[in-house]
Structure 1
């Protein structure tokens, strides 16, 4: 049967000479895997741009219930085109980091409308904003767990949970500042500017990622983190 849904491309891998296999987080069915034929061919104009990480799509897909097999897309078009992320080095670096986080964090094969709306609205805001967005990825990391079922509620709760399993060390002189920043990240809107010193930012992202490691099995390391750190310093 055919089913309409919006989707967020998480990543794709090349498959054969002209095809790809894409992981897409859909609004109606959760995470799904699709094979898309011919998108790497220039014969009729390449459509590979539609499947770049974090692209927002309107799709009509072939849907088989209760199966995790690779499925197919009947139609796909851009839902909201990005005007800044692909052309702004800082934004594109943050976007690649977020896409990698999502590739490791999203395992659900069922709908999660609240999570989908959070992701879509956050990405649209990030692309549009002209404000200081250097804390966006930290706000994103702090806020997403509430939609995944492990909302930390406060910095003290997060730090206590992490230290029980995989302690993260930071200077005692930074402890209060780190807690204040995390509480701001948890409670603020994306529109609110959060000024964070470079050294503090490094400790905060390490703590947030350890929190993900604690709650998501096989979360692993992030290849994009090194580039992100260099860009943000």
Structure 2
């Protein structure tokens, strides 16, 4: 079997048999790919590999292409980013769960997408390092991800604008029977599209404003991508933040 080296972000896992699992990754070498991992729950040898395959964990690996099966395998796999806080901070791990589910539901392409992959890879590192503004990170992620999915705002924001979800444009006029983000949410969208991730602590949003903006972004995503409605971790986000 042909081997190749790559990097990947864990999006989802499925139990397979008694000791194996299928791991879905967003990879730099081939977009979304699935891998069969055998003996993952075995206590023999080097022990369980489960710790590697948590939502949004970054991996470096050597893969083996399979000509007979749709799923590749790993010859070697190890951590690609040393995570110091994400696995131990319930707020960050909740955000990671949401990010992983969004990407799993929305990204289906099995072709390399370097800009998207680098955004996600760097996002994991940024979330792990973030000290202030964790409560805003999932909102920043959704706003910035829209750019890579092809439906980010198509014009410049001006103070007092609303945002027309269907047209993808900031607008002064809130027409009837049109999906519109409020002035507050349009301003937040603009700020998140331009705010560096390490300055998320400067974005002053209370709990109600975060929930309202999240709902507005889910409407925005839902207009373009129906699959966002299947994301179940939204409920946990609303409880934590």
What TM-score, normalized by structure 1, do the two folds share? 0.88
- 2:190 corresponds in structure 1 to 183
User: Is the Cα contact below 8 Å between 2:221 and 2:228 reproduced in 1?
Assistant: yes
1:133-212 matches, cutoff 5 A: 133-153=134-154, 156-161=162-167, 175-192=182-199, 193-212=202-221
Q: How far off its partner does 1:32 sit?
A: 0.4
1:95-106 matches, cutoff 5 A: 95-106=96-107
Q: How far off its partner does 1:9 sit?
A: 0.8
1:2-81 matches, cutoff 5 A: 2-44=3-45, 45-63=47-65, 69-81=70-82
User: Is the Cα contact below 8 Å between 1:32 and 1:68 reproduced in 2?
Assistant: no
Unaligned runs of 5+ in 2: 169-173
Separation in structure 1 between the aligned mates of residue 69 and residue 187 of structure 2, nearest angstrom: 42
Unaligned runs of 5+ in 1: none
Q: How far off its partner does 1:157 sit?
A: 4.9
SS at 1:144's partner residue? helix
- CA RMSD in angstroms comes to 2.4
Q: How far off its partner does 1:139 sit?
A: 0.5
Q: How far off its partner does 1:158 sit?
A: 4.9
Separation in structure 2 between the aligned mates of residue 167 and residue 22 of structure 1, nearest angstrom: 40
- Give the paired residue count: 226
Q: How far off its partner does 1:150 sit?
A: 2.1
Separation in structure 1 between the aligned mates of residue 135 and residue 87 of structure 2, nearest angstrom: 16
Say yes or no: does 1:223 pair with 2:232: yes
What TM-score, normalized by structure 2, do the two folds share? 0.86
User: Is the Cα contact below 8 Å between 1:2 and 1:60 reproduced in 2?
Assistant: yes
- 2:127 corresponds in structure 1 to 126
SS at 2:197's partner residue? coil
Separation in structure 2 between the aligned mates of residue 226 and residue 42 of structure 1, nearest angstrom: 35
Deviation per residue, 1:123-159 (Å, 9 max, x gap):
1011012122211110100001211222224675553
Once the two structures are overlaid, the 10-residue window that deviates more, 114-123 or 184-193, is 184-193
Separation in structure 2 between the aligned mates of residue 230 and residue 127 of structure 1, nearest angstrom: 21
Deviation per residue, 1:30-50 (Å, 9 max, x gap):
100111000111122101111
CA distance 1:146–1:158, shift in 2 (3 Å): farther
Q: How far off its partner does 1:214 sit?
A: 2.0
